[in-house]
Every structure is written in structure tokens, then in C-alpha cells.
């Protein structure tokens, strides 16, 4: 397969997914991998797939990180699903690499990717901490509104110790 053909395959999310076996038999209903394992290893093609998967995941990370700052109506479940699938794809792509295939460009790219993951993680933690604080405040407000003080017990994450 030529380098441009591999490059276009690397850009396609379907290139890392599996397709049904044409005969429908021999696999017990399971899917067969779309790529064949030949005796020839193309390090450039393997790196290209890793680069394209990282680029796709970074797009999802950037979108989510921006949404955490600005968009209350962002679909976090769909974003999480895309990130999860991207990490599965990245794991598959990394398995295609031999240790000798990892060059300075790939190392730098992985460092940048780790940085974006760290930023996204910090934003998610801030978001979750804010949700916990709001939940605690609502919990206290409900407790105060429904109680006359006779039978008080704390509900929510901040329980008092006896």
C-alpha cells in the first residue's frame, strides 16, 4: 500500500475499527480485523496512524476543555464516549509500533498530547469540584427547609461526626 493510501486510511476512524468477515462464517459471528498482518513492517505508516489518532483525540479534548469553560449545554457523555473510543484506537495504533519505531518526532508529539490530557483533567476536576460544592449547598438547603431541628441528621457529602 502506498504512503498516501496509508495516510488516508490513518485519517479515517473506520480504519481502526473492524468489519464483518465476508463469508460470515469461521469467526462465530465475531468481527475480523480489517488490516492484515504481513511480514513487512512499515514504521512510517505505523507512526502516521498514531499521529492521526492523537490529532483526532486532541480535537475532542480541545472541544471538551473549551466547553468546560463556556458551554453549560455540552454533551459530556458523547464527548467521553469519543475520548474513550479514541483511547482504544490509540492503544491499537501503538501496538503496531515497534520500540525502534519511536523517534524524536513521536516522542515530542506524545509529550504535547500528555500536556493536553493534563489540562483537560484539571478542567474536569474543577468542574466536578464545583458540582460537589453545589450539591452540598443544595443538600444543606433541603435539610434546613424540611427540618424543624428536632430530628436532624446531615445528608450529603459533609456529615458531622458524633
Q: Per residue in 20-79, pLDDT tens?
A: 344 444 444 444 444 545 557 888 999 999 999 999 999 999 999 999 888 778 888 999
Q: Residue ranges per domain, the chain?
A: 3-9+41-145
The reported pTM is 0.61
Nearest to 94 by CA among 73, 117, 113: 113
- What is the distance between the alpha carbons of residues 52 and 57, in angstroms, rounded to a whole number? 9
Amino acid at each position: 500500500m502506498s504512503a498516501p493510501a496509508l495516510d488516508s486510511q490513518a485519517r479515517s476512524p473506520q480504519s481502526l475499527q473492524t468489519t464483518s468477515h465476508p463469508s460470515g462464517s469461521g469467526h462465530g459471528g465475531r468481527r475480523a480485523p480489517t488490516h492484515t498482518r504481513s511480514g513487512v513492517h512499515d514504521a512510517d505508516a505505523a507512526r502516521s496512524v498514531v499521529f492521526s489518532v492523537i490529532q483526532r483525540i486532541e480535537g475532542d479534548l480541545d472541544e471538551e476543555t473549551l466547553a468546560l469553560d463556556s458551554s453549560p449545554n455540552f454533551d459530556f457523555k458523547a464527548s467521553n464516549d469519543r475520548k474513550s473510543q479514541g483511547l482504544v484506537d490509540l492503544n491499537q495504533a501503538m501496538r503496531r509500533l515497534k520500540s525502534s519505531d519511536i523517534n524524536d518526532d513521536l516522542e515530542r508529539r506524545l509529550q504535547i498530547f500528555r500536556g493536553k490530557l493534563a489540562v483537560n483533567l484539571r478542567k474536569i476536576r474543577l468542574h466536578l469540584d464545583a458540582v460537589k460544592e453545589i450539591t452540598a449547598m443544595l443538600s444543606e438547603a433541603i435539610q434546613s427547609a424540611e427540618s424543624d431541628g428536632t430530628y436532624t441528621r446531615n445528608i450529603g457529602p459533609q456529615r458531622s461526626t458524633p
